[in-house]
Chain A
Amino acid sequence: MSPPSITDLDDLGLDQGGHLLLHRAVSRAAPGQVVEVRGRAPQLRVHLAAWCRSEGHDVEMAEGPGPVAGWIRPGRATGARWHGAERSGPELAERAPTRWGLAARGATVEAGGVEFPFPLNDRAVVWTDAAPAIYRQAAAAQWDPATAVDWSAPVELDDDVEAAVIQVMTYLVENENAALAVPARFLGRIHPHFREVVAVLAVQVADEARHVEVFTRRAELRGRPLGLSTVGGQASLLTLLEEPDFAVAHFLLSVLGEGTFLHLLSFLERHAPDPVTARVCHLALADEARHVAFGMAHLAAVLEADAGLRPRLAAAIHERHDALAQTAGLNREVFDALVVLAAGSWAPAALAEGFRRVQELSAEMDEGRRRRLVKLGYHPEEAAALSSLHTRNFM
């Protein structure tokens, strides 16, 4: 039997933090070893007995005056809370148990916790090694809508051109609302063990919120009401929101939708009739490029783990196309507004040039989609066919 370990509280009371010393002494005691408690706090003996009772330790109180208050014989429950505990990292788990809940990755998790509703807990489904770097870039690239745009820059457009800009902004806001809602729907379902993925999507949601703000602000800049929202456009976006599978939704939104939007935003920046429109499109474009990069990295990783996903993704494009076959697709108002915006005026020659530019944009979008699909392992012919089925609403 080990001799008693001695803990001297000096004049520290158990009501003033002295319990920390007792906890440490008890947890360090060898099996069967007694902890001798010394101290001068006036109420130490009363509190020592009460503390030992609540902690499940036996205690023998010292009699008479003297520095020794009593002897603790640690109870069986000492340290029992951590029997069966698991360390949740630091390396990534192939499947993060839902019982790890919200614990920090790498924390020791007490056994017996409740199960958390994080159904997206397979590394193969959610993870990409690119996530940490993309998150770092995203965090570093945040901008403030109040200062990143010179809202006082001169915007002196013909009313008709201004109307076209407002219509395009109205359309962009609608689409950014979808781009915000889709990752938000999955955000709370991904196991926090994969925190970098959660972080990227969280920033993505915040990005889209800013885009909604700056596009709205540009539309309202001259005090005019916002433009039109069509049944066909919204039907197209609803199919994105309703997609239950994370990989499929990420594919449709980020690879195809936001991928297509890169060309649109670049087009708008290039042909913007005023500096505010050019700037807000420029800022959004940089964010969207990051979203597409993350989508591509995630899909590439998921496809590497599950080649069977490739035909499922292709089937999802077909299904979405079929679901939208009876809708008008991109509304005429938006298409016409793009032409006017690119033309810069209603002069016939300018409109011809604007029309040509929008046709070029459409070809660029198709080319970009095909390139990304090929990069994800689709045969060029299949990629071309799939790209042609993409929603006429762009997103």
Chain B
Amino acid sequence: METLVMGAVAYDAKVVTIWDGFKQWFAANGLAFDYVLYSNYERQVEALLAGHVQVAWNSPLAWARAHRMAKARGLDVVPVAMRDTDCDLTSVVVVNASSGIEDVAGLAGRRVAVGAVDSPQATLIPLSYLRSEGLEAGRDFDVSHHQVGVGKHGDHIGGERDAARALVAGTVDAACMIDGNHLLFSAEGTLPPGSTRIIGQTPTYDHCNFTAAATAPAALVEQFRSLLLGMSYDDPEVRPLLDLEGLKAWRVGRVTGYAQLEAAVDESGFYDQEGHVAAVDYRP
């Protein structure tokens, strides 16, 4: 029986629990499935294009690189599926409520905390958003990176949390994070409730997807997608896996939510058009 091999990035120890669980569930449902763990998304994308794995559980930035690399080689990659929680996210720019900064224009000459250099949600997209508002990082304001889990494309929440802590500590004037993490950090007390104000919000964008190489066996990929879409939160066997992976339902993959990140990658020169890593001082 042919086996579908998927790559995933080990951003946390629970990744083993998650994919071991999925492997067993897929096997019980007739799909021979295995997974390979990578320490960073760059290695995973290269492995996908080299055919070492047929599907990759990709961050949005890894998707951006995969399709650039594929295109440069005359190949194609497709988004197979994504979580309901990967759709229509926004990032927010947050200041201390008492700071007197009323809007993003007020960040001129200030210091803005972001996540790791490769975080789409806490660095690349928010900085692109500020650029669209007329503020260029390094020129109009200083950037304070919080380099946790570099190479893991911001999957590790630590960078965003450190940015939030820097805001509370007063070492920065603003911090960037996903909308949901602003809610989380406020609820958990990292940001004292009511102590911060949102002065900017990006348009909606999408997050992770399962990226399949065009060379992947189509029938297996289709079976994989079909099984994912059939997973129901009602099913007590499946529910713990969905809880661990942070979703209620899988959705068909789409490419419509990545334009902001593509623009951010181009503007910042993170990757070139062929998918080479061009970012300076990025050491995954």
Contacts and interface: CB of A to CB of B under 8 A. Distances in A.
Question: Are chains A and B native binding partners rather than an unrelated pairing?
Answer: yes
B236 A53 contact: no
Interface string B87-98: 111101000000
B177 to A, nearest CB: 11
Given A13-B194, A16-B193, A55-B248, A76 B233 contact: yes
Contact of A49 (B179, B186, B246, B247): B179
A271 B88 CA distance: 85
Interface string A353-386: 0000000000000000000000000000000000
B179 A50 contact: yes
B85 interface: yes
Given A14-B183, A16-B193, A53 B249 contact: no
Contact of A54 (B85, B197, B249): B85
A54 B245 CA distance: 11
A53 B194 contact: no
A106 interface: no
Nearest to B201: A46
Contacts of B194: 13, 16
A347 interface: no
A46 B236 contact: no
A122 B235 CA distance: 28
Interface string A69-101: 000000111001101100000000000000000
Given A53-B89, A76-B233, A111-B236, A42 B186 contact: no
B50 to A, nearest CB: 34
A19 B188 CA distance: 13
A15 B178 CA distance: 15
Contact of A51 (B92, B183, B239): B183
B180 A56 contact: no
A54 B246 CA distance: 8
A80 B186 CA distance: 28
Contacts of B233: 56, 76-77, 80-81
Contacts of B88: 49, 53
B234 A83 contact: yes
A349 B75 CA distance: 110
A56 B186 CA distance: 21
A112 interface: yes
B84 A56 contact: yes
A50 B184 CA distance: 10
A69 to B, nearest CB: 14
B133 interface: no
A198 B24 CA distance: 36
A43 interface: yes
A110 interface: yes
B198 interface: yes
B218 interface: no
Given A46-B92, A50-B178, 5 more contacts: A14-B183, A16-B186, A56-B84, A75-B249, A81-B239
The 9 closest A-B pairs by CB, nearest first: A112-B236, A56-B248, A15-B186, A111-B236, A50-B180, A77-B248, A77-B233, A50-B179, A80-B233
Interface of A: 13-16, 19, 42-43, 46-47, 49-51, 53-56, 75-77, 80-81, 83-84, 110-112
